[in-house]
Amino acid sequence: MANPLARRAVVGIVAVLLLGGIGYQIHRLQQPSHGGDPANDIPQLAAVQTFDHAGGDHTSDPVTYAQIPPAGGPHDPAWEDCGAYPQPVRNENAVHALEHGTVWVTYRPGLAAADVAALVSTLHAVKSGKTILSPYDGLPSPVVVTVWDAQLGLTGADDPRLALFLGFYGDGHTAPEPNASCAGGVHDLASQG
């Protein structure tokens, strides 16, 4: 028969491993489910484009971005203030807001006023309140929803994928500085020329 001291040691080790495993599972279940690919859990988001931008690069110079609208990259030291804008906002300021975990919804100029109002209403449901809405010339889709490193083109204000995108990405988890705010930023309006 085994030594009583060794038996207690084995029982203690097994107990620690079991408690650690249970603790880890509880912790994991309490965390939001943000895998690398939302299409695994939400097939309707299979069209989301993802990117890999570094954060923190400030510049006062104009930046040429790879995406329309931009989804990350170098940006102005000042971020764009949260809110709905009737004119395009400056890319470099909006990208800084994206770095803070802001959702930026852009729409083609000329979108019906009722559709713009529907977008405003939808964005009020974003728990963080960190949203920017603005028209944007040259969009590849009637409406585009963007967060840092992720973007989805939508068929319009009533596209049901908008709510799914906001549910998955609206907490800012892809952003380098998700706990920063867009409140108190600048109100820079500019064309994307």
DSSP assignment, residue 182?
S
For residue 89, pLDDT beyond 60: yes
Of all residues in the chain, what percent carry a pLDDT higher than 90?
A: 66
Q: Whole-prediction pTM value?
A: 0.79
- Strand-strand pairing, 83-84 and 143-147: unpaired
Q: Give the tens place of pLDDT for each residue, 115-170.
A: 999 999 999 888 889 999 999 999 999 999 999 999 999 999 999 999 999 999 99
DSSP 65-103: -SSSS--SSSB-SSPBPSEE-SSPBPHHHHHHHHHTT-E
Percent helix, strand, coil in the chain, to 5, is 30, 15, 50
What Rg value do the Cα atoms of the chain yield, rounded?
A: 22
92 near 144, Cβ under 8 Å? no
Looking at the DSSP bridge assignments, the partners of residue 132 are 83, 104
The confidence score (pLDDT) of residue 11 equals 57
The confidence score (pLDDT) of residue 14 equals 54
Q: Give the tens place of pLDDT for each residue, 183-193.
A: 989 987 764 44
For residue 31, pLDDT beyond 50: no
For residue 22, pLDDT beyond 50: no
